[in-house]
Structure formats: C-alpha cells, structure tokens
Amino acid sequence: MILQMGWRNIWRNKRRTAVILTAVIIGVWSMIFLGALMRGFSDRMRQNGIATLTGHLQVHRAGFRNDPVIENRITSPAAVLDALEILPEGARWTPRIRVNAVAGNARHSAGITLVGIDPGREAAVSFIGDAVRQGRYLQQEDPLGIVVGEAFVRKFETRLGNKLVLMSQDANGEIASRAFRIVGIFDAELESTEKQFGFVHIAASRKMLGVGDDICEVAVLLPSHRQVEAAAESLRQRLPEDTYTVETWKDLLPIVRETLEIYDVFIFIWFLAVFIAMGFGLVNTILMAVFERIREFGLMRSLGMLPRLVVVEVLAESFFLLVLGMAAGNLIGLLSVWALSVNGIDLSAFSAGMEFAGMSRIIFPVLVARDIFTANATVFLMGLAVSLYPAVKAARINPVEAMARP
C-alpha cells in the first residue's frame, strides 16, 4: 500500500510530474544518444587510425620509427615472417616498403609517403583494398602502376593514366627515381590520407630502392582488438628486442589513444552534468511535494507511522518518477540511435575541422552496453540518493506542528 500511495501521489499534481518526467526523459535520452554519438566519434577515430595503414600491430626494425629511412629496413624478413606464425587464427598480415618520397609532375611536386604493398595481402589489412573509386587497384604484377588519393589528384591537377615521378633515397644513399602511371584513385575518410599516400607494388618499390627482398614493416590485423596486447607480447618474445620493435596501435597512434581516453572522461563529465541539472529538478519537485503535504505527513506520523516508512513512501515517489522517466528516456534514446544507425550524421560540412581531430565525415552512433548501464545507474542511484533529503525532511516532521498548520 505504501508503494501504491507513492504511485498515486505522483499523479496528484500532473503538471509538475509531467515537467520532472520530461526533465528525466531528456536527461536519460541525452546521456544515451549523445553518449552513443561520442562513442561513434571515438570508434570511428580508432577504426580510421587502424585502417589507415596502422593495423593492430606493426613490426619494424629497431630505430625505424624514430628515423624512417631505408637504411633502417628489415633486412632479413624471413625471421619476422616466421615469427608471425604464432598469431591467433584469423589474423592477417602484410609486408610493406614505406619511405618518404617526393612526387612530381610537370606542374607540381610534393612530399608523400611511398608505400610498396603486396596488393592481395594489403587489401585484407588496410583500407586501400576497397578504397579505389576511379581506375583500378594494383594487380599482382604491376611494375609501373601507382594508386593515389582523390585530393592528391586535385592538388596535382592530374588524372588517371598520367605519369608521376617519384624520387627517394635508395639503399646506397643515392637518389633513386622512377616514373609511375596513375592506375587508380582512392577515396579516404580523411583528406590528409588522400594527399599523403601513394601506393605501388612492393616489387616495384624494392626495385626502385634497390633493397632486394627486404621490407620496412609488417602490419597485422587481428580478428578482435581485445587480442592486441597478448599477440604483441608473444611476438616480442619471438623477436629479439634489440633488432625489432613490436608496437600496438596505441603506441603507433598516441594522439588517438589519448583522445579516446579523454572521450571516456568527457562522457563521464557529460553524465554528471546532465545528472546535476536533473537532480536539482528532482529534489525541488519532491521537496515541493513534501511541503505541500506536510499535514498529511503529520497525520501519518500521528497515526503511528514510523519515520523510516515515511522515507520509504517519499522514495517510492521518486522511484516511480525515475523509472518512468528512464523507461521513456531509454526508449527514445534507443530509437534515436536506431534512426541514425542507417545513414549516420553527415558532418562533411565541417569536414576540414573534423579531420584535424582525425574524425570521419559521417558519424554513426555506437551503443555500448556499459554506457547505457552507467547512464541508468547514475540516474537511478543518484536520483534516489538526492531524494533522501526531502524524504528525511518529511520523516522528521513534528506531527503536532504539522497538524496545527492552516
């Protein structure tokens, strides 16, 4: 009956209940929906980072990361490739040549990263396999083809079929140059990626740089990002530490890692800010309800109701307000996420600004069970906690004074 009283009491002032319910609904909705958007941002940022030639893991010769020159290449790739056998089932890997180069045509020249790839293996590891929008991807035998980005083509005022000359330092310290023909143009999430990378066949790059069968790096993509640390550790045990470095995407993309950590804090702060706004509304509503019914609480206390039962009755009211608001807020939140999960939010109007932060042009909200749980637990537990104040106030009412009120 105490719970029944709580339920009926919240409907005594329908307008006030509607106002506070709206506040709880908007609060929970915003926690879920904006939380999912933030997760979408951060997930996309991580995925972009991993897909943009990073992978989950990379193996380099020690020193290559600090000084990525051809001298710091892996000169006995067989040892590294043998070690990759211990990777979990489903893991994919690809060898690369990766050096800084200067690209030039009749009108322009600019620094790019020349990436020599094994077309078949690369397609299974990074974005480039299905990013070609015009022309074609590299073939297994492709000594002269180069694939460049859309933004690069615009900048160089060139097109498919045109020549592009690449220059870089070769294994002997001499300047090597080679003319390639643009066979494919790729699109990437980030314009900077389109400008930065030029992809050629690994054999062509080896020949140009005179490095035989050597490679610069091996990138690994694992079936799940949860396997990253364990796989990195087992590779480290197989490869001598003074010769090779094995790094995870977190080591390779420190800015992304830091940003993701900051996002976690942002989400928590967001939850807290929403709750504080909502919590004040809730306390105010319950407090008003208590003061309005002070004689009623006086009556109940006079009849012998113990203070703790009065607390239970008042908490029951906020329990129902919270549960109703949370149910509706969750429903609307999930519906909003669902509605946006098909097409996402197109941020291309802001893409220049967003790219700076390594974000995509289109963001899809991502629901994380832990976020939903945290949002609901925050609202529910802290909602009940702040309602204790008016509840205890009601329980401490002096029945004689309360009943004597006009």
Partner 1 sequence: MKSIRNIVECRDVTKIYDQGRVKVTALKAVSLEIERGGFIAVAGPSGSGKTTLLNIFGGLDVPDQGTVSVDGELLNDMSQSALAKLRLHKVGFVFQSYNLIPVLSAIENVEFCMLLQGVPAAERRRRARSMLDDVGLEDKYDRRPAELSGGQQQRVAVARAIVSNPVMVLADEPTANLDSKTGEGLLQLMREMNEDKGVTFIFSTHDKMVMDYARRLVVLRDGAVAEDAQR
Q: Closer to partner 1 at the Cβ: 303 or 352? A: 303
Among the candidate windows 2-10, 279-287, 330-338, 339-347, which touches partner 1 by CB under 8 A?
Answer: 2-10
The answer to whether 403 contacts partner 1 (rule: CB under 8 A) is yes
- CA nearest 286: which of 247, 320, 314? 314
Nearest CB to partner 1, comparing residues 203 and 294: 294
- Whether 221 contacts 123, CB under 8 Å: no
Contacts with partner 1, 241-280, as mask; x by CB under 8 A: ----------------------------------------
Distance of closest approach, residue 15 Cβ to partner 1, in angstroms:
17
| Phi-psi map region of 185: left, alpha, beta (phi>0 left; psi -120 to 50 alpha) | beta
Say how many C-beta atoms besides its own lie within 10 A of residue 192's C-beta: 15
Residue 400 binds partner 1 (CB under 8 A): yes
Contacts of 147 (CB under 8 A, 6+ apart): 128, 132, 135, 137, 138, 182, 183, 184, 185, 186, 198, 199, 200
CB-based burial label for 164 (10 Å; 0-12, 13-18, 19+): buried
Which range touches partner 1 (CB under 8 A), out of 87-95, 234-242, 281-289, 299-307? 299-307
Least CB distance to partner 1 at residue 299 (A): 7
Q: Which of 252, 225, 234 is nearest to 90 (CA)?
A: 225
Q: How far is CA 161 from CA 134, 180, 199, in A?
A: 11, 9, 15
Footprint on residues 9-48 left by partner 1 (CB under 8 A): 9, 12
Q: Which position among 112, 185, 300, 322 is part of the footprint of partner 1 (CB under 8 A)?
A: 300
Q: How far is the CB of 49 from partner 1 (least distance, A)?
A: 58
Which amino acid, one-letter code, is at 23? Answer: A
Q: Between residues 76 and 302, which has the closer beta carbon with respect to partner 1? A: 302
Q: Supply the minimum distance, in Å, between the C-beta of residue 352 and partner 1.
A: 59
Among 165, 305, 323, 347, contact with partner 1 (rule: CB under 8 A) = 305
* Contact between 306 and partner 1 per CB under 8 A: yes
Q: How far apart are CA 196 and CA 114, in angstroms?
A: 9
Binding piece for partner 1, criterion CB under 8 A, among 200-208, 295-303, 319-327, 337-345: 295-303
> What single-letter amino acid sits at 108?
H
Question: Measured from the CB of residue 9, what is the shortest distance to partner 1 in angstroms?
Answer: 6
Coil/strand/helix, residue 213:
coil
Residues that bind partner 1 (CB under 8 A): 1-2, 4-5, 8-9, 12, 295-296, 299-307, 309, 399-400, 403
